[in-house]
Chain A
Amino acid sequence: MKYQSPKERVLPYLFSVPAIILILASISILLFVGTGGVLAINWEMVSKSVLKGGIFEPIVGTLYLLSGTMAISLPIGVLTAVYLVEYAPKGRTNRIITQAMNNLAGVPSIVFGLFGYSFFCRFLGFGISLLSGWLTLTCMVLPIVIRGSQEAIRMVPKTFREAAEALGASKWRAIRDLVLTTAAPGIATSTILGISRVAGETAAILFTSSVFLMRGLPSTPFDPVMVLTYHIYVLLVTSPSPVLDRVFAMALILLGLVVVLNILAYVVRLYYRKRKRW
């Protein structure tokens, strides 16, 4: 209907090839990890300690790492976004902060690792610990949270806040009560994506936070932690014939976590779009 010359009728089929290749690639990876993982995993493995051939601590350690990171970065990120959108939407301050954010977003994760090691681990003396990991990952994930929150807050019509202020609420209360609650799904989306990013991170925690083996779970933030990504890495890279079923099981959990989080973010985004009545 659109393309008239007969030569051009081939084009949509031709152009579909790369897209098909990419879709096949993602399906193969999912299938690879999925089937290998499903075959390898069992409740015993998941519940047993690493010292007994299980993978319990890396799973929990990852969760510890995630929660701490998000607990720190979420408030900072949201408040920064609020400031950028509501208090200083234009002008030099905004440009400086946005510029810094954009540059931060482009820094490779291994460089965050180097920074984290020299600053948090050494300079501040936190050592290779959960805390260093939280702080390093916060630095890494901040731009994501800020950007996403900015988007979400920007989409809230100015009239909401103005109406609240006209009724006598202070700017901050208007923001807190109206803007943030309205923007919450959008903020949630970017937070979820941030969590996903942190969960899959290896390079930044390689030598700032994680260890391959330790006794039990971290009892204080100053203890190091075992995480899924690092554990998989060490098993695959350092052992001559890696114990694949543990690797598959961990990969499955990791991938599963990431996929679920992304689907969640997608769903929240859709729900948010449907609910928007303005």
Chain B
Amino acid sequence: MVKLTRNSFFSFKFKDRIEITLLIVSFLSVLILSLITIFLFYEGAPAFMEIGTFNLLFGDNWAPFYGRYGAAPLIYGSIMIVVGSLVISIPLGVIAAIFFAEFIPRWLGDLIKPFIELLAAIPSIIFGFFGLAVLSPIISDLFGLALGKTAFTASIVLSIMVVPTIVSISSEVISSVPNDYKRASIALGATHWQTLKNVVLPTAKLGIVASILLAFGRAIGETVAVLMVSGAVAKIPVPFWNYFKPVQTITGSIALDMGEVPFGSTHYHALFGLGIVLFVITFVFNTISDYVMRKAPTAEVQI
């Protein structure tokens, strides 16, 4: 009996060891996130101190090789392009989602959706290539511009990249609106569209909004594709609503400058400062999106 106790004790310890190992491994995610936060702030904080938060974020002269670190044109450029892409991708995405969820039979939707999900898998460099070689010339011809690299072009490219997110999540959410509701509405004599408008879509609203927030987060973080077609000019366009002018984004300037920047210089810190801005914005949007998603009255969805 004593032997039995010793054995069980030993195996208990082993089981504990495994669990502890797994716990440590699992905490790597937490560790990584913490490290990212720490290092970003460690390298970026000096920028806020040396340049001044106000100057960095709101100064409108970005010429770091000349010692000017006003990142407002970059922030504006990012916002411009993201807004532009959302204006295109939200209607496109939501309507396509409704189409897949409500207007075609399930099997057909399952057949076609992979094509759109493929869009999500295409590397951004290829989007950039496509934008550069195909869209850019078309746009410059169509609108009589000298160069096709504009905020408009970037918005279009970004919208194609971001639409699959909206489509896949929204269509999932719409499909999971309980059939009970639809049957009740139809049995009362409502038409399909009335049912959609008054019952299905209001129920799916939160999930759709969450997908849009997520799309926003992805759009603002996109680097390469946007860099290749946005024109990379760090100036707020002159009529500020003019999308046919080149702009530069936060991500674009980080990508462009990091290769050449001297380690530890103000410029270097400024880029990390921009990184912090990006990190915070996406963090906020993803958190809100998660929160909205959890409030949504429909089933759990893979993001």
Contacts and interface: CB of A to CB of B under 8 A. Distances in A.
Give yes or no for direct A-B contact (beta carbon below 8 Å). yes
Interface of A: 2-5, 8, 11-12, 15-19, 21-23, 25-29, 32-33, 76, 79-80, 82-84, 87-88, 93, 96-97, 100-115, 117-119, 122-123, 139, 142-143, 146-147, 151, 170-172, 193, 196-197, 199-203, 206-207, 229, 232-233, 236-237, 244, 247, 251, 254-255, 258-259, 261-262, 266
Interface in B195-246: 214, 217, 220-224, 227-228
Nearest to A79: B25
Contacts of A105: 286, 303
B192 A200 contact: no
A110 B221 contact: yes
B35 A23 contact: no
Interface string B66-80: 000000000000000
B123 A200 contact: yes
Contact of A19 (B99, B123, B263): B99
B86 interface: no
Given A76-B28, A207-B259, A247-B129, A229 B134 contact: no
Main secondary structure of the interface of B (DSSP, over half): helix
B161 to A, nearest CB: 10
Contacts of A200: 121-126
A115 B118 contact: no
Given A97-B30, A202-B223, 4 more contacts: A18-B96, A83-B25, A112-B36, A199-B123
A236 B133 CA distance: 10
Contacts of B164: 22
Given A79-B26, A111-B275, A254-B126, A117 B258 contact: yes
15 contacts: A79-B22, A102-B290, A103-B286, A106-B285, A107-B283, A108-B220, A113-B258, A115-B36, A118-B40, A142-B29, A142-B32, A172-B18, A202-B124, A202-B224, A258-B123
Interface of B: 11, 14-15, 18-19, 21-23, 25-30, 32-33, 35-36, 39-40, 42-43, 91-93, 95-96, 98-100, 103-104, 112, 114-119, 121-130, 132-134, 160, 163-164, 167, 191-193, 214, 217, 220-224, 227-228, 251, 254-255, 258-259, 263, 271-272, 275, 278-279, 282-283, 285-287, 290, 302-303
Nearest to B14: A170
Contact of B129 (A28, A232, A259): A232
Contacts of B255: 110, 113, 203, 206
Given A18-B99, A254-B123, A109 B223 contact: yes
